Structure 1
Amino acid sequence: MIHFFARFATCCIVFSMLLLHVDTRSVSAQEWVRDMFPVKDHDFGIVPRGAKAEYAFEFTNKYQEDLHVSDVRSSCGCTLPRIENADLKTYQKGAIICEFNTRSFVGGKSAVVTVVFDRPYYGEMQLTVKGNIRSDIVTEPGEIQFGEVEQGAEKTTSVQVTYAGRSQWEISDVRSANSNLGVVLGDAKKTGGGRVEYTMQVRLKDTAPAGDFSDQIVLVTNDRQFNLVTIPVRGSILPPLVLPTSVELGTTSLTKEVTGRIFVKGKVPFEITKIECEDSRFEFTPSAGSKAAHFIPLKFTPSEKEGAFRQKVTIHTTLPNDGVGSTFISGNVVAQ
């Protein structure tokens, strides 16, 4: 009998150690996932019903192994998540796009969005979103979308704001943290039955820098509560010189050279005057002549240095208005 209990006690100790090992690995797995997300929660604030409210939780593969997002799910139908770039190599970026469902829900809502990774290891990440959807305010369109705009150009679009409630309701101010946006608010139009309408002219200034932007305009109303209402503003400013965001060379060994190309284009013909790169393992052969599109051959010769790399490359051209662009070249060097 004593021998039986001794064996039983030994088994319990071993089982407990196994559980501790699994729990430790689980916690460690969550940490490596968390380290990839600089932002883990977002507040949409107060948004009108029907507004197109989206937020991108960006993340970067900081590891040498390839990464894969296998699933994403939400705890509430008020938030619709989707994956942008499920497969990532070293230093590549992806995003979890969370859309606040303002057409089907009203009032204060929140959700936990779970992101599941199955490579290089299993791990989960919980992101949180919240917001307040007002059913008495509707904007048309639900999002201020400028689309693609050439850098240095201006563009104006209009937005209709409709309120249904009390006739004394008004918009007292319009604000934006983006100095490249200008707003002209028209006079209030009261159509009876507590219905108030405004028309806004929103201008994207010619000073906007190149790149995609996602911002918001805030309506300040005379409501006693929830008096700040946000309207999303998005667009893309096209630079005179267009390059890929990154060039991926993949995994190579210390003894194998890798070749590739960088595609560069502009609206008008141009010449490439200089290519800058601080990593001596890269060699570039710029194409000669003036043309609207250039393919720049590149060669990467690994040295004795192993590991992942991400190198910035800056390209200078004869294009006016800051005809300089940059991209990143990434990859991984292994012993064999």
Structure 2
Amino acid sequence: MGMKTIRRILWVTFFLGHLYAWSTPEHAPKLVCEQPEFNFGERESSGELAHDFVIRNAGDLTLQIFNLRPTCGCLVPKFTDRLIPPGGEATITVQFTLRGRQGPQHKLVYIDSNDPSHPAYALHMVGQITDTIEIEPRLLFFGRIQAQAAITGTVMMTASGTNLLGPVTAQLESAAFTVNVGPVMSNKTAQLTVVSKPPLPEGLTRTTLQIHTGNQRLPIMTMTISAFVPGVFSILPPELLIVGREGERVRRELFLRTENNTAFRVLAVEPPVQEIASTVTATNSAAYRIEFNNLPVMRSLEGQTVRIVTDHPTRPEILIPIRVFVR
């Protein structure tokens, strides 16, 4: 082996040694959680539960928490301190909404921090959720129906285990549907019959069905009833759904076309607040894609509408409802 080769090997060894030293800093924060998994056992699908995870900085530099990222909208995490000194502790409280959940659960919250070894540390919530009273289906959607049609849908209620239904009554928030409660069989099952009441308005009709039971653990249950009546235009999705964290900005798309492929033009798009930007793109003479940018996630937009102005002779104005879900 020549001297030139030996010098090359020594130089590579020296370089890799320094590279390793640079990649593993001598001083750093270190996030530690003695119990990163919380098993809540078996719970019923109603109400909420909360758990406190205690985290500690076992490093010798300040630990900085950048963000908490839940893997499900049913989780709401909060922390007491964003900056944790060496040896210090902080508490992360995770609130878990049980309503609407069923079966085995394994939900995670990621802690984004400046810990170089674990920049995305995972906290776990595991357990089993059972229904005191099961409803099938959980959402009743009649699909696309004609305005003059009276369509019937059924909802089955079943009390699980030793639970009993007791007397059952139901009421709807809208006059677009009617509901009838059948007899409660053996205090365990009941059938609800929901019928659309013509004429239904064009577009999406949605209402809430509120069910009252004699069960003390679950005296009130709610579910959504909806139907879609096609009209001059086909709108997908029929509403602008904004989902995210409070103050976050999101992007959504809307597709608009005439049912009989008649040509038309979109003249204007008017969001409820000026900060929302919209871009209209014609895919053909009878269809458009409308892109919304900078949509703010804020509860005050719930129930408001986006106004679309067209040159169609029978439908010069289209109102798109806005729904907001804040995680």
Note whether the superposition's TM-score is higher than 0.5: no
Q: Which has the higher contact order (CA 8 A, sep 6+)?
A: 1
Larger CA Rg, structure 1 vs 2: 2
Q: State the TM bucket, normalised to the shorter chain.
A: 0.3 to 0.5
TM-score (norm 1): 0.38
TM-score scaled by length of structure 2: 0.39
